Structure 1
Amino acid sequence: MVTLEGVAGNDRGGGQQSELQAELARLKEEHRDLDRAIEALEDSVASDRLQLQRLKKRKLQLRDRIQFVEDQILPDIIA
C-alpha cells in the first residue's frame, strides 16, 4: 500500500489519507468481486444478458472511481 506521509506537496491530513486508502481498498475488492460474478454469469447456461450489462457497467464505474481515488492519493506532478 502506498502512503505519502512526509512527501513534499502532500498537504492532505493523515485522516483523509487513511480514508482514501480505505475507500480504495473497498473499491478494488468490489471490482474483483464483480469480475468473478461476471465470469460466473458468462459461463452460466442461462445467463441474463441484461444483468450482465448492468454488472459490466457497474464495474466500469468502479474503475473510474478507483482511478479518481488513486489520483487523490498520488496526484500527477507536472515537472
Structure 2
Amino acid sequence: MNAPNDLSMKTDEVLKIELEVFRRQHRDLDEAITALEEKATSDQLTVRRLKKQKLQLKDVIALIEDRLTPDIIA
C-alpha cells in the first residue's frame, strides 16, 4: 500500500483520485475478508493480515478526507 506521507505536497485533485483508489482497495479487502471467513478452511493468519491492511487504508482515507474537507470556524 502506498500511503501518502506528506499530504500538503499534493493537490486536491491528486488527493481525490488517491482517495477513490484507497476506497476501492478498502472495499476489495472487505470482500476478500468476507469470502475467506465464509470458508471453513480459511487461513486465520491471512484474514488477520488483510484486516490490518484494511485498517491502515481506513486511516489513510480519513487523513485524505480531513485534508480535503475545508475547516469551518463556527
Give the TM-score of the pair, scaled to structure 2. 0.82
Which runs of 5 or more residues in structure 1 are unaligned? 1-11
Runs of at least 4 residues off by over 3 Å: none
Deviation string 1:32-73 (CA, Å, 9 cap, x unpaired) is 000000000000121000000000000000000000000110
Work out the CA distance in 2 between the residues paired with 1:59 and 1:70.
Answer: 16
Which runs of 5 or more residues in structure 2 are unaligned? 1-7
Q: What RMSD in Å do the two structures reach over aligned CA positions? A: 1.6
Q: How many residues align?
A: 66
Which structure would you say has the larger Rg? Answer: 1
Q: Percent identity?
A: 50
Structure with greater helix share of residues: 2
Work out the CA distance in 1 between the residues paired with 2:43 and 2:28.
Answer: 18
Give the TM-score of the pair, scaled to structure 1. 0.77
